Amino acid sequence: MEHLKVTVDGTTYQKEVEPRTLLVHFLREDLGRVGTVVGCDTSNCGTCTVLVDGVSVKSCSMLAVQADGSEITTIQGVSDGNDWHPVQSAFKECHGLQCGYCTPGMVISSIDLLNENPNPTEAEIREGLEGNLCRCTGYHNIVKSVQRAAELMEGTKS
């Protein structure tokens, strides 16, 4: 077992983990934070995406021990209490989801995308989300949601 200290969505945890534990399994099974889901066995779908020290990673493709000392944000940590993150509000407003399975990853990847590029073109949005697969929406409303989120976030600056 390896000792692990991580901050997840603002709370610091100290745990013993087996080295083979994937970060996503640690979040779900050891911490009970099941907002982050698993959608594939091949590192393709992106539904497990979280922010590790501010950048998006696939939590199924990282060992929990590798996150020692880092700060993680999952879908459960993006809102400010009852105030939704602008990306969450935009997904609701633009119907950026149907079944919702891809949504935790889509929202996190969109936050990462807008952090790096606050004013993306449609092509940049489609490319920026290429690590996230959606089986329902056909992506169109997801793209609209990100465009709307960019507007909302522009409005919150000043």
Partner 1 sequence: MIPVAFDYKKASSVEDALAALAEGGEDAKLMGGGQSLVPVLRLRLNAPSVVVDCSSIPELKGIKDEGGKILIGAGTTHHAVMNDPAVKSSLKVLADATASVADPQIRHRGTLGGALAHSDPRADQPPVALALDAEFTIAGTTGQRTVAAADFFQGPFETAVGPDEILVSIAFPKLDGWGGHYEKFNRAAQAWSIIGVAAAVRMEGGKIAEARIGLTNVGGTPHRASAVEQALVGASSIAEVEAASMHASDNLSPFADEDADVDYRLHLARVLTARSVARAAGIS
**Binding-site ranges for partner 1 (CB under 8 A):** 2, 18-22, 25, 41-44, 46, 49, 55-58, 60-63, 65-66, 68, 109, 112-113, 126-128, 130-132
50: contact with ligand FES by CB under 6 A = no
Provide DSSP, 88-138. HHHHHHTT--SS-SSHHHHHHHHHHHHHH-SS--HHHHHHHTTT---SSS-
Please, which residue, 102 or 108, has the CB nearer to ligand FES?
102
Stretch near ligand FES under the rule CB under 6 A, chosen from 7-15, 44-52, 70-78, 109-117: 44-52
99 binds, among ligand FAD, ligand FES, partner 1, none (CB under 5 to 8 A by kind): ligand FES
The pair of three-digit structure tokens given for residue 80, joined into one six-digit string: 């400010």
Q: How far is CA 123 from the centre of its chain?
A: 20
Determine if 127 is a binding residue for ligand FAD (CB under 6 A): no
Q: Which of 4, 6, 45, 129 binds ligand FES (CB under 6 A)?
A: 45
Residues near 46 by beta carbon (within 8 Å), at least 6 away in sequence: 39, 58, 102, 105, 106, 109, 131, 132, 133
The least CB distance from residue 49 to ligand FES, in Å, is 7
Q: 14 — alpha (psi -120 to 50), left (phi > 0) or beta? A: beta
Footprint of ligand FAD (CB under 6 A): 43-44
